[in-house]
Chain A
Amino acid sequence: MRIAMPGWEFPPFISGGLGVHCFELTRALCAKGVEIDFFMPVSGKQIEPPCAGLRIIEVAKAELQPYMSFSKSGQRANYGGNLIAAVNEYWKCCEEKVSLCAKEKKYDLLHAHDWLTSRPGATLKKPLGIPLVQTFHSTEFDRTSSPWDYVLEVERAAAQNADLIIAVSNRTREQVCRLGAEQGKIRVVYNGVDSRRFAESQPSQAAIGGFKGGKKVVLFLGRLTEQKGPVQFLHAAKQVLSVEPNTLFVIAGKGELLPLLINMSMSMGISQNVKFLGFVPEEEQRKIYKVADVYVMPSTSEPFGITALEAMASGVPVIISKTSGVAEVAKSAIRVDFWDINMMAQKIVAVLRHAPLSRTMSRLSAREAAECNWKKTADATLRVYEEAVARFNSDSKR
Chain B
Amino acid sequence: MDVCIYFQVHQPLRLSQYSIFESPMAGERGEYAHKGSRYFDDSLNRQIMEKVAKKCYLPTNALMLELLEKHPEFRVSYSLTGVFMEQCEQFCPEVLDSFSALAKTGRVEFLSETYYHSLSYLFADKDEFIAQIELHSKAISKFATPSKVFRNTEAMFSNDIAYLVERLGYEGILAEGLEHLLGWRSPNYLYTVKGCEKIKALLRNFKLSDDIGYRFSAKWWSEYPLTADKYANWLSSLQGDCVNIFMDYETFGEHHWVDTGIFDFLRHLPAEASRHGNLRFSTPSELVGRIPARDDIDAPQITSWADMERDTSAWLGNEMQTSAFSMLESMGAVVKEKKDPELIRTWRMLGNSDHLYYMCTKSLSDQDVHNYFSPYDSPFDAYINYMNILQDFKAKVEKA
Is B20 an interface residue when CB atoms closer than 8 A count as contact? Answer: yes
Contact B377 A335 (CB under 8 A): yes
Closest to B20 in A: A346
Contact B19 A346 (CB under 8 A): yes
Is A239 an interface residue when CB atoms closer than 8 A count as contact? Answer: yes
* Distance between Cα atoms of A335 and B320 in the complex (Å): 18
- Closest CB of chain A to B203's CB: distance in Å? 34
* Distance between Cα atoms of A360 and B21 in the complex (Å): 24
Which residues of B sit under 8 angstroms from A331, Cβ to Cβ? 363, 367, 378
Contact A354 B387 (CB under 8 A): yes
Contact B378 A350 (CB under 8 A): no
Contact A349 B320 (CB under 8 A): no
Contact B380 A357 (CB under 8 A): yes
Is A122 an interface residue when CB atoms closer than 8 A count as contact? Answer: no
Contact A356 B384 (CB under 8 A): no
* Distance between Cα atoms of A335 and B377 in the complex (Å): 8
Contact B319 A360 (CB under 8 A): yes
Contact B323 A356 (CB under 8 A): yes
Is B150 an interface residue when CB atoms closer than 8 A count as contact? Answer: no
* Distance between Cα atoms of A349 and B18 in the complex (Å): 13
How many A-B residue contacts, CB cutoff 8 Å? 58
Query: A335, A345, A357: which contacts B21 (Cβ < 8 A)?
Result: A345
Query: A335, A342, A357, A367: which contacts B384 (Cβ < 8 A)?
Result: A357
Q: For residues 331 through 372 of chain A, which have their beta carbon under 8 Å from a beta carbon of chain B? A: 331, 333-335, 342-343, 345-347, 349-350, 354, 356-357, 359-361, 364, 367
Contact A356 B380 (CB under 8 A): no
- Closest CB of chain A to B153's CB: distance in Å? 23
Is B318 an interface residue when CB atoms closer than 8 A count as contact? Answer: yes
- Closest CB of chain B to A312's CB: distance in Å? 13
Which residues of A sit under 8 angstroms from B217, Cβ to Cβ? none
- Closest CB of chain B to A201's CB: distance in Å? 24
Query: A239, A343, A346, A357: which contacts B320 (Cβ < 8 A)?
Result: A357
Is A390 an interface residue when CB atoms closer than 8 A count as contact? Answer: no
* Distance between Cα atoms of A356 and B379 in the complex (Å): 12
Is B158 an interface residue when CB atoms closer than 8 A count as contact? Answer: no
Is B120 an interface residue when CB atoms closer than 8 A count as contact? Answer: no
Contact B380 A334 (CB under 8 A): yes
* Distance between Cα atoms of A367 and B364 in the complex (Å): 13
Is B381 an interface residue when CB atoms closer than 8 A count as contact? Answer: yes
Q: For residues 300 through 322 of chain B, which have their beta carbon under 8 Å from a beta carbon of chain A? A: 318-320, 322
Contact A364 B384 (CB under 8 A): no
- Closest CB of chain B to A368's CB: distance in Å? 8
Is A243 an interface residue when CB atoms closer than 8 A count as contact? Answer: yes
Which residues of B sit under 8 angstroms from A239, Cβ to Cβ? 21
Is B383 an interface residue when CB atoms closer than 8 A count as contact? Answer: yes
Known: A350-B384, A350-B387. A359 touches B319 (CB 8 A): yes
Contact A349 B20 (CB under 8 A): yes
Known: A356-B319, A360-B320, A364-B361. A346 touches B378 (CB 8 A): no
Which residues of B sit under 8 angstroms from A360, Cβ to Cβ? 318-320, 361, 380
- Closest CB of chain B to A332's CB: distance in Å? 8
Known: A342-B19, A346-B19. A357 touches B377 (CB 8 A): no
Contact B378 A357 (CB under 8 A): no
Which residues of B sit under 8 angstroms from A343, Cβ to Cβ? 19
Known: A334-B378, A364-B361. A357 touches B20 (CB 8 A): no
| Chain A 96-139 interface mask (CB, 8 Å, partner B; 1/0) | 00000000000000000000000000000000000000000000
* Distance between Cα atoms of A349 and B388 in the complex (Å): 11
Q: For residues 341 through 389 of chain B, which have their beta carbon under 8 Å from a beta carbon of chain A? A: 361, 363, 367, 377-378, 380-381, 383-384, 387-388
* Distance between Cα atoms of A359 and B377 in the complex (Å): 19
Contact A342 B21 (CB under 8 A): yes
| Chain B 320-346 interface mask (CB, 8 Å, partner A; 1/0) | 101110000000000000000000000
Contact A346 B21 (CB under 8 A): yes
* Distance between Cα atoms of A359 and B321 in the complex (Å): 12
Which residues of A sit under 8 angstroms from B367, Cβ to Cβ? 331
Which residues of A sit under 8 angstroms from B387, Cβ to Cβ? 350, 354, 357
Contact B20 A335 (CB under 8 A): no
- Closest CB of chain B to A179's CB: distance in Å? 30
Q: For residues 303 through 348 of chain A, which have their beta carbon under 8 Å from a beta carbon of chain B? A: 331, 333-335, 342-343, 345-347
Which residues of A sit under 8 angstroms from B383, Cβ to Cβ? 350, 354, 356-357
Which residues of A sit under 8 angstroms from B322, Cβ to Cβ? 356
Closest to A349 in B: B20
Q: For residues 4 through 45 of chain B, which have their beta carbon under 8 Å from a beta carbon of chain A? A: 19-21
Contact B384 A347 (CB under 8 A): yes
Closest to B380 in A: A334
- Closest CB of chain B to A328's CB: distance in Å? 13
Q: For residues 49 through 92 of chain A, which have their beta carbon under 8 Å from a beta carbon of chain B? A: none
Closest to A239 in B: B21
Known: A335-B378, A356-B323, A360-B380. 10 other contacts (CB 8 A): A239-B21, A333-B378, A334-B378, A334-B381, A334-B384, A350-B388, A356-B322, A357-B380, A357-B384, A361-B380
A-B contact pairs, 14 of them (CB 8 A): A334-B380, A334-B381, A334-B384, A335-B377, A346-B19, A346-B20, A346-B21, A346-B388, A347-B380, A354-B320, A354-B387, A356-B320, A356-B322, A359-B319
Pairs A-B, 4 closest by C-beta atoms = A350-B384, A356-B323, A356-B319, A356-B320
